[in-house]
A and B are shown apart, each in its own frame.
Chain A
């Protein structure tokens, strides 16, 4: 365990050990390195709260991706933009 925490890639220059919550946030925020992702994955195996939070947050993200992407822009939008560009800038 001590070996694991020594090699914790989340520890920054300050040497402060991150909390579970902080690690999870880096992961969720698309700001973790591959090394950090791998470390966190391993960490979740032995940390139920992290596993549960991660699972919940990822499910919410999936839901957002499938339900909040808004679909396609209106068909005439690109035409209108092109039209305006020719009008105003030529």
Chain B
């Protein structure tokens, strides 16, 4: 937990203040936290454990949280660290993205060539079931994470960099690649739903 506690000076809260912070600043994020836990583990029970664990840690280290700062980003960071340190160790999910390759991709001219898969806005309208959720879950965990943080939770580069402990440049390239991969998956769904290759 040293990472969560190192930058902020310790606060001194009374028990009542602790409860206030916990109830008013931490608990309102429970649904987002649960969803984040689920998208990381892809298992509802594991998500529950992860969220419980995160809230316990958050309470235990509540004095390193400064009132009025971004509680949601702080909680997301603890959850992500718990996932990596406690959960991922136990699981066998192979997870290594070649980030050098990603960076190289991003820094090359290829980015400008827009190799967008043939996916049309119209075909998205037919994805009324679990298509998008399945497509997202099929991405590598590091890619689905940035999509969730950015598209669903609306975090900015700086916040994502802090939550994930990676440089802003890596956030950018990871997001870029994640969007590309998601489109490829959606494009496959669209094709399997009977859409012919369309002009984009």
Contact = CB atoms under 8 A, between A and B. Distances in A.
A25 B34 CA distance: 28
B52 A69 contact: no
Contacts of A74: 34, 44, 48
B156 A60 contact: no
Contacts of B121: 55-56, 59
B79 interface: no
A19 B31 CA distance: 38
A69 B172 CA distance: 22
A21 B182 CA distance: 17
A70 interface: yes
Nearest to A55: B121
B186 interface: yes
A14 to B, nearest CB: 14
Contacts, number: 108
Interface string B56-85: 100110000000000000000000000000
A61 B127 CA distance: 13
Interface string B151-173: 11011110000000000000010
Contacts of A49: 114
A30 B156 CA distance: 6
B39 interface: yes
Contacts of B124: 56, 59-60, 63
B136 A68 contact: yes
A16 interface: no
Interface in A16-70: 19-21, 25, 28-31, 49, 52-53, 55-57, 59-61, 63-65, 67-70
A62 to B, nearest CB: 8
B154 A67 contact: no
